[in-house]
Structure 1
Amino acid sequence: MATNPPYSALHDGQSESDLELERVETQASPRRSMSVHTRHSTETHPETKPPGFDWGGSWAWEVGSVALAVVGLVLLVAFLVTIKNTPYATWQYTVSPNTVVSIIVTITKAAVLVSVSSCLGQLKWNLFQTPAPLYHMQVIDQASRGPWGSMEVLLRGIFGSKTGSLTYVGAFLTVLVLAVDPFAQQILTFPSRTVAAPNATAFAQTSQQWHVGDSEGSEIFLELPSTLLAALMSGLLGTHTPLEPQCKASSCEFPEFFALGMCSKCQDTTSQLQQKCQVPEDGDFWDYVHPAFKETPTNCSYQSPSNFSFDFEGFPSFTSGFGDVTYDNVTFYTSSWSIRPRENETILGIQTPIVSLTEIDYTNPVIYTLDNATAPPTKPLVTECAVYFCERRYSASVYLPATNTSAPMHVVDTQELIATDVPEESRTSYSPYPVHFAPPNGLATLSKDPSYSIDHQTFNSFESTMMKMFNTSTDFSTTSDVVDMTIFLRKGNLSELLDSMSTSVTDVLRANRLGKQIPGKTFRVETFIHVQWPWIILPVIVTVGSIALLLGTAIESKSCKAVLWKCMALPLLSSRLHTTTPENEIGSVHSVDGMTEKWKKMRAVMVQDEAPHTFREK
């Protein structure tokens, strides 16, 4: 009894009766049977197309990935070269330069990992072309999946496990890639620098002439203009604000320049003071003390190195009622202080000062005992000073307005100036002609321009004003006709006070209408993009290392004729393990650790000419 063919054997559109008829016809005509068979055979087995390029079984994707990594590296270098040392203010994009670097490095790192992972995946197949511990399949496969497995390969390499040098290189690159991002963050820094600011304004003021204007002059003969008198007072009182340059920028540089000014010089001459003392003729005061004090030389005269003479006669007359007196001990409190001005007296090497000053300070007590009853008294403290016209040289300097520098212009040298054309009658009458100055002893001026001058009125007024201002004392009847400056001069250091006064007057002379402006260079602070090239070394090493690893893995795979399974898991699913010892059968193992221990001891080789692929124990 004939059986119906299965449903799968029916041709599309044919019924069972049609098939039965076809069978009978075939039996009746063998030729037709062959024809039909041939037709069916043709329909059932169409012509197969030639196989295409095996992308998965080649290194095409890996070559593309390392090529992408190289392109990323080239783009990174090109980007860094483009933006290096450029002002950050010119960066007009939403994302920061660091973000761009991070994106490029991330793409490069991802491309490197693709190639390194594939190479590690292939190396586990290459390893088993010769007998090797079966556990190495697990170790290398984990290394191809990330840093943790790669660390295990490196650690086991340290402890002696052999998985191949290329495997160590791949594992090292996988771990090293983790440090690429932190290194990339260090490539760019944004420090500040000083650059030229061509549109800003900067100048310092100076002058080598002074001529009082109609609005500045005084109607009183030999009276200083108000601006100069205020400069004298503010300098002595310590309220002077130094003349600062104009600087409309973050910082300004000014060249060396020269100016007409006032200078001062002081020296403590106490040790050079000549002292001559005598016993006073009136000895009534000593009737209350020991007879030895009658021979005490208390009447003294003094002469300074500049030939200025002064006397202190009879201490008792000065201190009556203020001394501490006992039979064998006498203490005098003189409380004497004064400044004695002089006109045009050579002093301290200054040939023609405006005024010369001698400060006498006898405020320390004078103590006598029986041991020093016949000795002269201690000398008073004497300071000699000179105030004079001079030429000032200001050094090249940098001025920073933001720091509120109060004295940006620094004087590095001065030279005395002597009036060369002052007729005698001009000291008592008005002269329209200026007074010119020149250095003493035929010296050359510090400046290349030797022209220094001041009007006669101001020149003569300086001397008369200072003679009155500095004639001060605490025990003499003569006091200042302008203002009593005793309280200020006595409490301060005379050298420092005169220096402040001279600077104050010089600043007014520099800023007068006949002066000129010294142009300066202007600078501003800007943030710029700085490239730290050493930090790019790690991305370069990783990229070059991935190329070397790919070449090494490809050459090794070709030499051992291994199929490029790479990271595929399907070959493992279709393979089997042929063991020669029953205890190594997988069915006898019931724990992961147990399997791991057995695979560490088992050595196997992959046999590719068997179907399915076989790992045979050796």
Structure 2
Amino acid sequence: MAVTAEPSNWWWWWELAGAALSLASMCLIITILALVGDKPLSAWPLSIQPNSAISILTTVAKATIMMVVASCISQLKWRHMLLQPQPLHHLQIFEDASRGPWGAAVMLFRVPLRLSSVLGWALALITVAGLGIEPSAQNILDFQIKPVNLTNTTAEMYLARQYVSKAFRQEEYGNNLNRAVTSELPHFQAVVLNGMSGQVLPPSFVCPAPAVSCTWPSFTSLGICVTFRNVTEGVDRNCTNPDSNYRQSCRYHNISGWQEDDTKTGDRDQYRPTLNYTSPGDSSGLAQKTQTLYTTYGTTGGRFGGPWLILRHASSSWPGGWGYYSPPWPEVFTANFAWCEQTYSGIGTADPVTSGRLVNGTVTSKPLFYRLGANDTLLGSYAVGYSTADNSSTYHLSYPAEMGLQEYLSSVLEMSAFDYLRSSSKMSGAAIDAAMNLNFVLKLAPDLEVVAQNLANTLTNLIRNSNDTGGGDNALATTVTGTAFGREQFVIVRWQWLILPVLETVLALVLLVISIVITSGSPQLKDSVSAYLLYPLSGWTEDEIKVGGRQTGGKLEGFAAGMKARFAMDDAGRWRFWRA
């Protein structure tokens, strides 16, 4: 007795559940990305890292969506055979396409694109494109180190609104005020000499750990500015006739920017800058010297500032053909030092801050003018005042600081250098009996303007820096507060890499709905193996479907490729494959 079996009908509930789970996973991925994007990784509240969470959710979304696609392809093979006669081996091709990307790729080449197969083609394309879901997901998140504002750390930069020197001080002696002996003066002098030789004292700042960099807003401070000029053009000189040893002196005048002392009486020529020369024609046999450097520092009525005059020869050799009576002309320079207000903008530290350097800043200057009638005192010392031309800013400094600085520069900036022509001694020439041969620093400097600027910057930083920090000289140095930055790892979302997973999910859901609708009137067999056993072939004799020899899947598929059939129901309501 024949038994008619009614297969259990699961409809599409598993596929719909898988589609819902895939959609939920994709929504969770988008939510996570929106929460972590452009935020510090430390703000992530869970123990599992966001990239791990994305990976897990992507795996769930891909697994469920591929299950949905596989079911749709399996179901569509029956519709493919139902619409019109097809080679029987198409059943195997569709079945292989439902099992993974390789079978799906084969289907695209072996099944012609027709109305009956267009939906299967679309699902096969989704299966192949699914290979890119996980690599895309791995590229969604990027991690970058960015600076972050440290709200619990304060950055400080030193500046001077007032200046009381620790090196130049005064003390009461009876009814008089005398210059005090200080232990800070040697340090001050050493810093100045080092600055002129190229080791400029840096401005002092505080950028404490864990900060890796700091920045400061614009601020103003008392400073020393210098104006450097090459005034060789137009200089005149008076030279004496060479003596018996071929020596002569030349006095220079008409130097632009250099004010001769009008209080001198008698022969004013004797007070002018002088260089002494020895001709190469000297035959005395004695060690003779030619002066190659002369510097002097002027004054401005007892207050700080004034021109620094430099006369320098690059060499002591006299040019050939000039004769013994015409020494070469020197280069002549002036450097005018004066108090000024300096405005610092865009100041920040180098990265890393441990380098101790400042970068990315600009400095502009305004001249300051002496303010008469200043009777203030600073830490017990008489004070003098300076202000900008519009009186918008006023600075005070102790009288001993101004006078001591002026006298110190007057002594340190006046020097000479000589080159020796010949000597019978085993050792002569450069003097080594000075604490520091600044004369040779100036003589050998490739750019004297740099030397002058280094001196101005060194003095400025001595004035700005506290004597307790940064090796400064100002007992009243103050600070400006800046912003400290640390390093933090930020999560960067590259949304373009989410396009493929989202597109895969959306298209799979759309095709699922279409598959449900267009296969609603056909048997819901999907990947059933029982269907092949229960639905017979009609229209072929026993001999026509006999496959000889060893039975293999490839041989059977090749045999089925030549058999064209249509899946349909007979008059008795039984489904089978009818020979076309």
* TM-score between both structures, scaled by the size of structure 1: 0.74
Report the counterpart of residue 402 of structure 2 in structure 1. 459
Higher mean displacement: 404-413 or 275-284: 275-284
Report the counterpart of residue 21 of structure 2 in structure 1. 68
User: Cα offset for 1:168?
Assistant: 0.6
Q: Which amino acid aligns with 1:614?
A: R
2:95 to 128, 141, 162: 141
| Distance in 1, Cα, partners of 2:295 & 2:126 | 86
CA 1:114–1:513 in structure 2 vs 1: closer, same or farther (change >3 Å)? same
| Distance in 2, Cα, partners of 1:164 & 1:209 | 89
2:279 to 290, 295, 316: 316
How far does the alpha carbon of each residue in 1:52-92 deviate from its partner, in whole angstroms, 9 at most, with x for none?
Answer: 99443x12221221122112222222232333333222335
Report the counterpart of residue 607 of structure 1 in structure 2. 568
| Distance in 1, Cα, partners of 2:155 & 2:273 | 53
Are the counterparts in 1 of residues 417 and 439 from structure 2 also a CA contact under 8 Å?
A: yes
How far does the alpha carbon of each residue in 1:280-331 deviate from its partner, in whole angstroms, 9 at most, with x for none?
Answer: 4769979xxxxxxxxxx997855322346545577539955699xxxxxxxx
What CA RMSD, in Å, does the superposition of the two structures yield over aligned residues?
A: 3.8
Q: Which amino acid aligns with 1:221?
A: R
Q: Which amino acid aligns with 1:502?
A: A
> Aligned to 2:352, what secondary structure does the other structure show?
helix
Report the counterpart of residue 291 of structure 1 in structure 2. none
Report the counterpart of residue 368 of structure 1 in structure 2. 320
Structure number with the higher strand fraction is 2
How far does the alpha carbon of each residue in 1:427-467 deviate from its partner, in whole angstroms, 9 at most, with x for none?
Answer: xxxx953111134xxx226xx4x221222222122222211
Structure 2 counterparts to residues 538-549 of structure 1, below 5 A:
538-549=500-511
> Aligned to 1:253, what secondary structure does the other structure show?
strand
Report the counterpart of residue 530 of structure 1 in structure 2. 492
1:338 to 286, 294, 319: 294
| Distance in 2, Cα, partners of 1:208 & 1:518 | 11
| Distance in 1, Cα, partners of 2:373 & 2:360 | 32
| Distance in 2, Cα, partners of 1:484 & 1:373 | 32
Are the counterparts in 1 of residues 133 and 500 from structure 2 also a CA contact under 8 Å?
A: yes
> Aligned to 1:192, what secondary structure does the other structure show?
strand
User: Cα offset for 1:143?
Assistant: 0.4
**Would you say 1:81 and 2:81 are equivalent positions?**
no
CA 1:313–1:587 in structure 2 vs 1: closer, same or farther (change >3 Å)? closer
Report the counterpart of residue 435 of structure 1 in structure 2. 384
**Would you say 1:125 and 2:78 are equivalent positions?**
yes
2:462 to 508, 526, 543: 508
| Distance in 2, Cα, partners of 1:339 & 1:117 | 94
Structure 2 counterparts to residues 403-442 of structure 1, below 5 A:
403=353, 404-408=355-359, 410=361, 412-421=363-372, 433-439=382-388
CA 1:322–1:120 in structure 2 vs 1: closer, same or farther (change >3 Å)? farther
> Aligned to 2:298, what secondary structure does the other structure show?
strand
| Distance in 2, Cα, partners of 1:197 & 1:534 | 32
How far does the alpha carbon of each residue in 1:485-515 deviate from its partner, in whole angstroms, 9 at most, with x for none?
Answer: 3233333343223322222222222232323
**Would you say 1:154 and 2:108 are equivalent positions?**
yes
**Would you say 1:245 and 2:194 are equivalent positions?**
no
> Aligned to 1:242, what secondary structure does the other structure show?
coil
Larger Rg: 1
Report the counterpart of residue 390 of structure 2 in structure 1. 444
User: Cα offset for 1:387?
Assistant: 2.0
Report the counterpart of residue 579 of structure 2 in structure 1. 617
| Distance in 2, Cα, partners of 1:266 & 1:223 | 34
| Distance in 2, Cα, partners of 1:175 & 1:571 | 27
Are the counterparts in 2 of residues 277 and 299 from structure 1 also a CA contact under 8 Å?
A: yes
| Distance in 2, Cα, partners of 1:412 & 1:265 | 15
**Would you say 1:264 and 2:226 are equivalent positions?**
yes
Report the counterpart of residue 221 of structure 1 in structure 2. 179
> Aligned to 2:335, what secondary structure does the other structure show?
strand
CA 1:548–1:197 in structure 2 vs 1: closer, same or farther (change >3 Å)? same
**Would you say 1:305 and 2:256 are equivalent positions?**
yes
Q: Which amino acid aligns with 2:85?
A: P
Report the counterpart of residue 526 of structure 2 in structure 1. 566
How far does the alpha carbon of each residue in 1:183-202 deviate from its partner, in whole angstroms, 9 at most, with x for none?
Answer: 11122222222222111121
Are the counterparts in 1 of residues 148 and 487 from structure 2 also a CA contact under 8 Å?
A: yes
| Distance in 1, Cα, partners of 2:406 & 2:240 | 39
Are the counterparts in 1 of residues 168 and 400 from structure 2 also a CA contact under 8 Å?
A: no
> Aligned to 1:587, what secondary structure does the other structure show?
coil
How far does the alpha carbon of each residue in 1:131-154 deviate from its partner, in whole angstroms, 9 at most, with x for none?
Answer: 112221111111011111101012
Are the counterparts in 2 of residues 133 and 602 from structure 1 also a CA contact under 8 Å?
A: yes
Q: Which amino acid aligns with 1:485?
A: L
Report the counterpart of residue 268 of structure 2 in structure 1. none
CA 1:563–1:278 in structure 2 vs 1: closer, same or farther (change >3 Å)? same
User: Cα offset for 1:389?
Assistant: 1.8
> Aligned to 2:179, what secondary structure does the other structure show?
coil
CA 1:360–1:604 in structure 2 vs 1: closer, same or farther (change >3 Å)? same
| Distance in 2, Cα, partners of 1:541 & 1:240 | 63
Are the counterparts in 1 of residues 169 and 400 from structure 2 also a CA contact under 8 Å?
A: no
Higher mean displacement: 118-127 or 277-286: 277-286
Report the counterpart of residue 497 of structure 1 in structure 2. 451
> Aligned to 2:532, what secondary structure does the other structure show?
helix
Are the counterparts in 2 of residues 273 and 302 from structure 1 also a CA contact under 8 Å?
A: no
Are the counterparts in 1 of residues 37 and 492 from structure 2 also a CA contact under 8 Å?
A: yes
User: Cα offset for 1:535?
Assistant: 1.8
| Distance in 2, Cα, partners of 1:135 & 1:615 | 12
Gaps of 5+ in 1: 1-50, 287-296, 324-331, 346-350, 424-430
> Aligned to 1:197, what secondary structure does the other structure show?
strand
| Distance in 1, Cα, partners of 2:75 & 2:412 | 102
> Aligned to 1:444, what secondary structure does the other structure show?
coil
Identity %: 22
Report the counterpart of residue 136 of structure 2 in structure 1. 183
CA 1:127–1:61 in structure 2 vs 1: closer, same or farther (change >3 Å)? same
Q: Which amino acid aligns with 2:396?
A: S
CA 1:200–1:237 in structure 2 vs 1: closer, same or farther (change >3 Å)? same
How far does the alpha carbon of each residue in 1:241-292 deviate from its partner, in whole angstroms, 9 at most, with x for none?
Answer: 312311222322211111112222222222x143457794769979xxxxxx
How far does the alpha carbon of each residue in 1:531-561 deviate from its partner, in whole angstroms, 9 at most, with x for none?
Answer: 2222222121111111121122222213xx3
| Distance in 2, Cα, partners of 1:481 & 1:356 | 25
CA 1:245–1:570 in structure 2 vs 1: closer, same or farther (change >3 Å)? same
Q: Which amino acid aligns with 1:109?
A: K
Report the counterpart of residue 110 of structure 1 in structure 2. 63
Aligned residues: 523
